Amino acid sequence: MTTSFSGAGPDRPDQAARPQQEPPESGRQTRERNDRELLETAVAQALLTAALASMGYLLHSWSLLQVSHRPGAGVTGIYAVEAGTGTPAPAPAPAPRFLCMTTAVVPVGAPGVVSLSGPQRQTLSVWAHPRDPLLPGLAWATDPHAVSAALFPPPDGCAIDRRPAGLRTTSYRPLRRAVLVAEHDGERRYLKVLRRGQAGAMGNRHRLLRDAGVPAPELVDVPGEDVVAMHAAAGRPLAELLMRDGAAEVDPQVLVNLLRDLPASVLDLPRRLPWSARVRTYGEGAAAVLPSSAGRIHELSAAIDDLVRRTDPGPVVPSHGDFYEANLVMAEGRVSGLLDVDALGPGHLVDDLACFLGHLAVLPAVNRRYVHAPAALERFGGAFERYVDPAGLHARAAAVALTLVAGAKRRTTDGREAHGWAEDARARLDAAAALEAEARRLLR
């Protein structure tokens, strides 16, 4: 199995009305900044050593693969480790290859979790992947033999011992969810591992959409606890089309129509706040990875928040909640797959369209091959403005772009910081600032 643990501004006419200095850092911000520094530095080695010792192993080497920071909810690090018993005696079990360490709240007494005290007396919880204490189905979903038996069973009467499916982790957000791809003999299935009790609601969302003719992926029954499995959607990811030619053959109206076709029963689902509702919080995350730009980030997040509050979101309608190119598959000019329906529920059309534009605006920073993205941004943005308040659309798109700044800080497979991530983060920040400036222009 392959495991890949896969944001000085422009002059502003109203600048005098805004704080000229960075606001004082709150106690929580200081604490989380210190926690992040702890997980990213060699200080973590002593904690990893202690955690492995309690499991019966000695730490030989380690490297940090990923840090996930959710402002207000904690910081989590994922580490690749080499461990052994240090004696000729047999190991109690195969040595863990990956450890997770978090400052987030973990249920007391969770199986397999080691509780440690950090240098600032913070409580740290450590577990061996895939025994995530809040994702009970992750161990099953990372077992190639179990997944093969459930998703790619041999034909009736066939007792041939077949090669197990190839498994690849495409996304893992500790304590929150994981996404894996399973492949066997040219067939592909997707697995989404959720928190306890969430799989049923996720399955209901897929069925609700499919019954209404909306192209959500077809589900596959699996025995994994709190795991949703689905067939791959036919077609090509919209992200590929945007890279090729800016998705020149995709009519923006098709995307608007898809959102308008979401069934009215979506309004009965729980409502989740849009990205723009927590723009100041996401600004804290961006400032944590770009401390040299913290003043600009705080000013920009406050300005975006002000614009969002001053613009009309329109009526409450059925909403996807995370509507952007990675969650759209296209075939023959239509949407053949609407993915990642976790946030499906009541919302505003403007927030779905803004989510699309905010992601589109940062694509050139994510990958330089998105050379057609600026033209696509202008084309899709111009079309979307006919359906929602233009200033509100761009203000909310700016909020989405700002939420993506912190994600630019990433690491290579060998644990080193990816080259150029800071430049990437600043480019995402520039994209958010440009969208905010356009929102201010339109509001005037």
pLDDT in tens, 260-311: 999 999 999 999 999 999 999 999 889 988 999 999 999 999 999 999 999 9
pLDDT of residue 224: 82
Q: In the chain, which stretches have pLDDT less than 50?
A: 4, 7-24
Q: Cα separation of 182 and 190, whole Å?
A: 6
pLDDT of residue 204: 95
Q: What is the CATH number of domain 134-153+163-232?
A: 3.30.200.20
CATH of 234-444, one of 3.30.300.10, 3.90.660.10, 3.90.1200.10, 3.30.420.40: 3.90.1200.10
pLDDT of residue 26: 62
Question: Exposed e or buried b for every residue in 228-240, given b needs 16+ CB within 10 A?
Answer: bbbebbebebbbe
Question: Which phi and psi (to 5°) does residue 340 adopt?
Answer: 55, 70
Strands (DSSP E) along 132-258, which ranges?
166-173, 177-184, 187-193, 219-220, 227-231, 236-237
pLDDT of residue 415: 60
Q: Cα separation of 57 and 55, whole Å?
A: 6
Is residue 96 classed as helix, strand or coil in its secondary structure? coil
Q: Cα separation of 96 and 6, whole Å?
A: 19
Question: Which phi and psi (to 5°) does residue 122 adopt?
Answer: -80, 150
pLDDT of residue 86: 66
Strands (DSSP E) along 129-165, which ranges?
none
pLDDT of residue 34: 83
The two domains 134-153+163-232 and 234-444 share their CATH topology (first three levels equal) = no
Q: Cα separation of 344 and 255, whole Å?
A: 16
142 DSSP 8-state letter: T
Residue with tokens 């912190």: 406
pLDDT of residue 418: 72
Instruction: Report helix angle 349-366 to 238-245, nearest 10.
Output: 60
234 DSSP 8-state letter: S
271 DSSP 8-state letter: P
H helix or E strand, kind and range, residue 335: strand 334-338
pLDDT of residue 106: 93
Bridge partners (DSSP) listed for residue 220 = 229
Per-domain residue ranges of the chain: 27-127, 134-153+163-232, 234-444
Q: Cα separation of 169 and 190, whole Å?
A: 10
For residue 105, give the nearest of 127, 132, 128, 123 by alpha carbon: 123
